[in-house]
């Protein structure tokens, strides 16, 4: 097997060596941060020092940091916890206003509330580059401000890298006393993220997206936000997230956040240069490839610097992914949480891209270990992979193959 080139940092980025060392050191110490003896107090000290480090990195107060198991739990606590609390206090507040291109951790939490709790939802649409308009959010709110429980709009999209106007949306929502949640999982370490400055009331982050361990994350929550917890037990984390704290993971996340924020400007410059080289090289191959979303050379404000999203006509993205993987290139067709589901991306469809075009999507995401050699290897592997994927697609779409598919349903769409 050839050496693998990793271009899927949006799914998870390799843990930084310094973080691995810190986690290993902490695991050797032990101690439950809820215990009152010497080992417990030492563990608590690590947790609270880490809380202060995370707060400093993300521009918030330490008391606003709630440790969780990652982005999905944080999104669920933000969406469900806010809706339950606000609806219990005022039964009129049934409505959620949510971006159409959110991660499924948000979308599925919303769907649960709609299907099981009587919530309703209005969708914030996006334009052809995946950006939402604060004016539409205002119109949705002002239709009936007293019925809105929460607005949720992600900081940066996990598939196409579009950065959203979170601060503008928060300002609009706050005119009517409505809290705002933002999923900033993809943004941290790639663009400046300041919780207080953004005006958001709730913010989701996940350590493994910026060089920390998997299974550790935070929900930043302003002290005046009312949340109903998802879990009950020991009453940890402001009684909002019961459970024994992962001291080693929390220490690792705090260090990763400090390192990521400390090197942000250098990383932006490096990643945007690699991204631009990848996009320019792909377009120059003569394969009729198109770039999804806004792209300007050197842009690090409207698109994540490490995100390149390409659409390859005449290909099925999954076929292209497997062919590239066989050639030593690891990338994705979209969110890792939806991997293996043979359907076009809801993000691309929301942007007005046809189902056929959306099926030929590739997401290439760069991170702190990425190099020029990675980009060159991808560009070398892409043309033969495209040729084989197009040939396979034309074969499977021939009349004979469609007839055979009608009599043999094995391998059809999973649900």
- The CATH number for 247's domain is 3.40.640.10
Crossing angle of helices 247-262/17-27, nearest 10°?
160
pTM of the shown model: 0.93
| 85 pLDDT tier (thresholds 50, 70, 90) | very high
Residue 31 lies in a domain: yes
What's the average model confidence in pLDDT over 100-111? 98
Quote the number of domains for the chain.
Answer: 2
What are the distances in angstroms from CA 332 to CA 6, 124, 310, 387, 392? 10, 26, 11, 18, 19
Q: Are residues 143 and 61 in the same domain?
A: yes
pLDDT of residue 398: 53
Q: Which helix (H) or strand (E) holds 347?
A: helix 346-350
pLDDT band at 399 (very low <50, low <70, confident <90, very high): low
Mean pLDDT of the chain: 93
Q: How confident is the model at residue 39 (pLDDT cuts 50, 70, 90)?
A: very high
Pairing assessment for the beta strands 202-206 and 290-291 based on DSSP bridges? unpaired
Check whether residue 138 and residue 279 sit in a common domain.
no
- Indicate the pLDDT class of residue 410, thresholds 50, 70 and 90: very low
Residue 295 confidence (pLDDT): 92
Residues noted as catalytic: 337
Per the listing, tokens 């599925």 go with 108
Residue 93 has pLDDT above 80, yes or no: yes
Evaluate whether residue 409 is within a structural domain.
no
Rounded distance between C-alpha atoms, residue 103 and residue 232, angstroms: 26
| Packing angle, helices 264-283 and 372-396, rounded to 10 | 40
Confidence category of residue 403, pLDDT binned at 50, 70, 90:
very low
Place of tokens 């040729």: 387
Question: pLDDT of 309-338, one tens digit each?
Answer: 999 999 999 999 999 999 999 999 965 555
- 219-229 exposure pattern, b = at least 16 Cβ within 10 A, e = fewer: bbbbeebebeb
**Amino acid 223: pLDDT:** 96
Confidence check: pLDDT of 409 > 70: no
CB 272 within 8 A of CB 300: yes
Are 252 and 275 members of one domain? Answer: no
Would you state the structure tokens that stand for residue 100, as one six-digit string?
């159409």
């Amino acid at each position: 097997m050839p050496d693998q080139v990793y271009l899927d940092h949006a799914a998870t980025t390799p843990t930084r060596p310094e973080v691995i060392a810190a986690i290993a050191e902490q695991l050797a110490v032990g101690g439950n941060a809820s215990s009152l003896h010497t080992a417990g107090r030492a563990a608590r000290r690590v947790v609270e020092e880490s809380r202060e480090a995370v707060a400093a990195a993300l521009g918030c107060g330490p008391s606003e940091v709630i440790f969780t198991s990652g982005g999905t739990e944080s999104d669920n606590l933000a969406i469900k916890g806010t809706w339950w609390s606000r609806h219990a206090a005022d039964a009129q507040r049934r409505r959620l206003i949510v971006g159409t291109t959110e991660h499924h951790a948000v979308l599925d939490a919303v769907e649960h509330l709609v299907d099981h709790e009587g919530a309703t939802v209005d969708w914030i649409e996006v334009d052809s580059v995946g950006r939402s308009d604060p004016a539409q959010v205002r119109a949705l709110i002002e239709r009936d401000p007293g019925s809105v429980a929460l607005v949720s709009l992600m900081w940066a999209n996990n598939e196409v890298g579009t950065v959203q106007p979170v601060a503008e949306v928060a300002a609009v929502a706050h005119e009517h006393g409505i809290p705002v949640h933002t999923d900033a999982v993809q943004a941290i370490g790639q663009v400046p993220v300041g919780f207080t400055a953004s005006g958001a009331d709730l913010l989701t982050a996940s350590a493994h997206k910026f060089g920390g361990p998997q299974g550790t994350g935070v929900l930043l929550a302003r002290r005046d936000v009312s949340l109903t917890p998802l879990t009950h037990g020991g009453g940890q984390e402001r009684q909002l997230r019961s459970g024994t704290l992962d001291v080693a993971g929390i220490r690792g996340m705090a260090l990763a956040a400090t390192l990521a924020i400390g090197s942000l400007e250098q990383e932006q410059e490096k990643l945007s240069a690699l991204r631009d080289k990848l996009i320019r090289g792909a377009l120059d191959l003569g394969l009729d490839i198109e770039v999804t979303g806004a792209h300007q050379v050197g842009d690090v404000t409207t698109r994540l610097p490490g995100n390149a999203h390409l659409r390859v006509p005449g290909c099925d993205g999954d076929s292209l992914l497997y062919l590239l993987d066989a050639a030593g290139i690891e990338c994705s067709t979209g969110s890792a949480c939806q991997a293996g589901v043979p359907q076009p991306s809801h993000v691309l469809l929301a942007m007005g891209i046809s189902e056929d075009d959306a099926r030929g999507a590739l997401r290439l995401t760069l991170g702190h270990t990425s190099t020029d050699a990675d980009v060159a290897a991808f560009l070398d592997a892409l043309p033969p992979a495209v040729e084989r994927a197009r040939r396979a697609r034309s074969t499977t779409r021939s009349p004979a193959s469609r007839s055979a598919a009608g009599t043999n349903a094995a391998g059809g769409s999973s649900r």
